[in-house]
Copies of this chain bind each other. A is one copy, B any other.
């Protein structure tokens, strides 16, 4: 039942389109916002990207994505820190409220150690975020990514990081794909609302018989997530940001993307 003006689309969702095409087509379709992936900025540079995005009149809830704090190699951690500052610069340039963080994981790094890398990396990055007035949103990823992408897999773990680092520029991006199964979800969303850390809300769906761990997300309504209920929890918690549509799907990417954007619009109205 979400109005389109309250929905934003992640550029990765229609990844064949240029940033200019995304902006024009999302706006024309009636969406209120765009979430910009860095690969959409890269071919044209951040100045040109900023002009296009700002001219579109679309809200920009997020730049995607930073993080990747975990590495045994110190040089790699330093390179990630540098890249994260660049993310913040880009976010500031295009007027994005927040940078979404995939915190990282590395095979061979025990999870407790990986989680220390994340806390340390965040602590060092936060002053730069604050200075640039860009929020940082930890996105807990589904436990199936704990081996190589994210050692933070539940809202509760993201909350503990926020409590430890206590900084108004640090919060959580809640993506239904990653957290829908968690019995503590309702309570954690409420807590994030109370603590002022609910920075983002991402939607897509979990296909029963998922065929691929990365690129087989469903359009809202195609899977088994009760998105509307979770959306209610998020609203009750005081979140008034945009619903961000973020779908990675080999199947959906192969369809006519103009029709696909219309399907996304319909799915937002019916299932979010």
Interface residue ranges, A against B (CB under 8 Å): 107-108, 110-112, 115, 142-144, 146-148, 153, 157, 180-183, 206, 208-210, 213, 223-224, 226, 229
Could you tell me the distance in whole angstroms from the C-beta of A215 to the nearest C-beta in chain B? 12
Are B213 and A143 in contact, with the CB atoms below 8 A? no
Q: Which residues from chain B contact A209 at a C-beta distance below 8 Å?
A: 148
Partner of A153, one of B181, B213, B226: B181
Give every chain B residue within 8 A of A183 (Cβ-Cβ): 111-112, 115, 157
Is there an interface contact between A181 and B146, defined as CB atoms closer than 8 Å? yes
Residue of B nearest to A225 (CB): B147
Evaluate contact between A210 and B115: CB separation under 8 angstroms.
no
Cα A224 to Cα B106 with chains together (Å)? 9
Expressed in whole angstroms, the Cα–Cα distance for A213 and B156 within the complex equals 25
A224 and B107 contacting across the interface, CB-CB below 8 Å? yes
**A226 CB contacts on chain B under 8 angstroms:** 110
| Contact of B143 with A144 in the complex, beta carbons under 8 Å | yes
A180 to B144, CA, bound (A): 10
Contact of A224 among B108, B112, B143, B182 (CB under 8 A): B108
CB distance from A38 to the nearest CB of B (A): 23
* Residue from B107, B108, B210, B223 in contact with A144 in the complex, judged by beta carbons closer than 8 Å: B210
Closest residue of B by beta carbon distance from A207? B147
A144-B147 CB under 8 A given contacts A107-B224, A115-B183: no
Extra contacts, 8 of them, besides A111-B183, A143-B144, A148-B209 (Cβ < 8 A), are A107-B224, A111-B181, A143-B181, A144-B213, A147-B223, A153-B182, A157-B183, A213-B213
